[in-house]
Amino acid sequence: MIDRSIRQHLSWFDTLKQHLLTTVLCVALPVCSVSASAESLTIGFSQIGSESGWRTSETESIKAEAERRGYNLKFSDAQQKQENQIKAVRSFIAQGVDGILLAPVVETGWDQVLKEAKRAHIPVVLVDRGVDANPDLYLTKVASDFREEGALAASWLAAKTNGKCNIVELQGTVGSSAAIDRKAGFDAVISNFPNMKIIRSQSGDFTRAGGKEVMESFLKAESNPKKDICALFSHNDDMALGAILAMKEAGIKPSKDILVVSIDGVPDIFKAMMDGESNATIELNPHLGAPAFDAILAYRAGKTVPKWIKANGPLYLPDTAAAEYNKRK
């Protein structure tokens, strides 16, 4: 039903979604054609570490996908150190793997090792983050587009409120690419609606405590928060969860008095949706294995591969929250 209302009010959103679909499709198409050949590959995967739940599920998803395909995956945990990653990539090159997956811990300093891989004709696929190097040196980047995540959140909100809403925004850590791009994507969409505006915006540092403290100050700053604030847009779920606590303590019903939309899709936000305290979340897609392996297959088949394969996650609503929560638990 919501999808229908989005389409009704936002004809341009169709184009956006279509654009999304085509991106996914053009990646997905070669999958069917090439995976039929059922070639067994040896792939090296240099992961940053296991600093968050999301990264753990990314690792597990890629391992599972490799197993499903019968690939030999050589996994290396860099424990947050670039030197470990460079060492791992060099050892993959020495072992003559068919392709390398690299989740780079930092953006710079990769030119040398990428050149070495290129000289050995081993394709390197960057997963979930980019690097600051000549794009010729790697095959492609498989990652979410933070801008589109922000845009999707804004589109949903515009549809839900008929383009009329006073929004408070919880930004991520100042200067982080996720915070900058999610904000930019969100702002770009709401600029089309004269009656949608961000009335307050502060950083909650991507943390639950930060989100709670900032939301408290937002509520104090408005004389009648129930009426003056229509929705909360939070750059991640954790801050939204903190903000939900703040609202409840101020006697405000989250998701009813104030709409809540956030990004990431952590288990607890699904729990909140089940309890009727949050309205929507956009998943930061951890399932990057399939598109990454497909890109390597496409390369081996001599096809051109785009430099950025956007692997955005879907928007989840309370109706599927219970199922998603159980899946992730």
Q: Let me know: does 258 contact 231? Beta carbons within 8 Å.
A: yes
Shortest distance (Å) from residue 266 CB to other proteins:
8
Q: Does 249 bind other proteins (CB under 8 A)?
A: yes
Measured from the CB atom, the residue of 151 and 266 that comes closer to other proteins is 266
How far is it, in rounded angstroms, from Cα 26 to Cα 157?
29
H or E element that contains 200: strand 195-203
Identify residues 117-176 at the interface with other proteins (CB under 8 A): 171, 174-175
Residue 53 binding other proteins, by CB under 8 A: yes
Interacting residue with other proteins among 16, 245, 274, 317 (CB under 8 A) = 245
How far is 170 from 167, CA to CA, in rounded Å?
10
CB of 173 to other proteins, least distance (A): 10
- State whether residue 329 is helix, strand or coil: coil
Q: Strand pairing of 124-127 and 99-102?
A: parallel
Which lies closer to other proteins via its Cβ, residue 120 or residue 221?
221
Positive or negative CA dihedral for 142, 147, 150, 151? Answer: negative
- What's the CA gap between 183 and 165, in Å, rounded? 16
Q: From the CB of 328, what's the least distance to other proteins, in Å?
A: 11
Q: How far is the CB of 203 from other proteins (least distance, A)?
A: 4
* 276 lies in the binding site for other proteins (CB under 8 A): no
Q: In the chain, what is the straight-line distance between the N-terminal and C-terminal CA atoms, in Å?
A: 28
- Stretch near other proteins under the rule CB under 8 A, chosen from 20-28, 142-150, 227-235, 237-245: 237-245
208 binds other proteins (CB under 8 A): yes
Structure tokens at 298: 């496409």
- Residue 73 as a binder of other proteins (CB under 8 A): the answer is no
The total number of residues shown for the chain amounts to 329
Please report, as a single letter, which amino acid is at residue 68.
R
Binding residues for other proteins (CB under 8 A): 50-53, 56, 171, 174-175, 200-203, 205-210, 212-214, 216-218, 220-221, 223, 238, 241-242, 245, 249, 251, 266, 268, 271
